[in-house]
Amino acid sequence: MRAARGGMDKVLLSAILLIAVLGIFFIYSATWDWQTESGHFSALVIKQSIWVVIGIVLLFIFSASDYLKILNYAYIFYILNLLALVFLLVFGGERYGARRWIAFGPVSIQPSEFVKITVILVLAAFLGDRREKIGTVKNYIASIALVMPASALIFLQPDLGTAFVLVPILFSILFVSGEKIKHIVLTMAAGLASIPFLWMFLKGYQKNRLMVFLNPDLDPLGAGYTIIQSKIAVGSGGMFGKGWLSGTQSYLNFLPERHTDFIFSVVGEEWGFFGGVALIALYALIVARGIRIFSRVPDVQGRAIAAGVVILIAFQVLVNIAMTIGLMPVVGLPLPAISYGGSNTIATLISVGLLLSVSRRIER
């Protein structure tokens, strides 16, 4: 069923709201302390609940807005986001070996999470203004050049995962906007050919992650520890899981980062194969609704926004779950609206709000 013009896609809305609420419960479980039997009122759960509420409010604001009017401010949003990234590199404090967060008292903001949205918006605005030039080499190169500053600044933090996610966003938007496939294929081929050259620019821990992906036993107590424990957690869940608050890898503290990048391990251990599949099905529902939207919206800008949001969510889900079960290297991409983190949660809900805004232009 299509969303009516001016109406709300209730299926899409219900799916993202359910995911956001489930995220709070999963974080509750991941932070549960079996010795004190506490966790549900911990600071992390309270913070995540606040961020979800803020994100939902912003979701409704963006979904009720005309995305074409929002695009009038796309370049401003993008430039401000780039300035925030520059500020991080110059003045930002280092945390976990990277400069990714701007602190405002007890609250930290990660600008790179919002770059994913501003890149989508600025590309939609750029291609919408130059729709008659779409398909030309000059326009194709200009589109790539537009995204390069954001990708480079994020790479320098360093944040390889977020810098990498901008690539499929860029190519998906170019594809649905009408750029020639041969241009995209040639660029991707050139990128793959340059991988050996890029190796020398990676940080030591990034190289270790790639080596450990090929052989987790290479450093089982160091770089390979988290992925080994993650696979144990997911595998031990079996078909139906160990039950709510019963994940031994979690409450015995064997699994690091279990409330952030590796929260799917908690889902797999406590809710098993069927629980994991149910969560993936919710994401698949969002992706399916998004595909219906960008295939039916009449304008270039709407297609660009919808395709960008679909790829943003789908790619992050794919990479996060794949790295959790050892099918991809650990690159630090969160599970959208599930992993603990205000910037990720709010950015994800805003992006779905934009998708809902685009759906309003689809006639029944």
Q: What is the pLDDT of residue 40?
A: 47
Average pLDDT over residues 261-284: 94
Q: What is the pLDDT of residues 207-237, one digit of tens each?
A: 676 776 666 666 666 667 788 888 888 888 8
Q: What is the pLDDT of residue 105?
A: 73
Q: Where are the domains of the chain?
A: 10-359
3-state secondary structure the chain: CCCCCCCCCHHHHHHHHHHHHHHHHHHHHHCCECCCCECCCCHHHHHHHHHHHHHHHHHHHHHCCCHHHHHHHHHHHHHHHHHHHHHHHHHCCCECCECCCEEECCEEECHHHHHHHHHHHHHHHHHHHCHHHCCCHHHHHHHHHHHHHHHHHHHCCCCHHHHHHHHHHHHHHHHHHCCCHHHHHHHHHHHHHCHHHHHHHCCHHHHHHHHHHHCHHHCCCCCCHHHHHHHHHHHHCCCCCCCCCCCHHHHCCCCCCCCCCCHHHHHHHHHHHHHHHHHHHHHHHHHHHHHHHHHHCCCHHHHHHHHHHHHHHHHHHHHHHHHHCCCCCCCCCCCCCCCCCHHHHHHHHHHHHHHHHHHCCCCC
Q: How much is the pTM? A: 0.90
Q: What is the pLDDT of residues 111-145, one digit of tens each?
A: 999 999 999 999 999 999 988 898 899 999 999 99
Work out the mean pLDDT of the chain and round it to a whole number. Answer: 87
Q: What is the pLDDT of residue 77?
A: 96
Of the ranges 145-154, 189-198, 323-332, which is most confident? Answer: 145-154
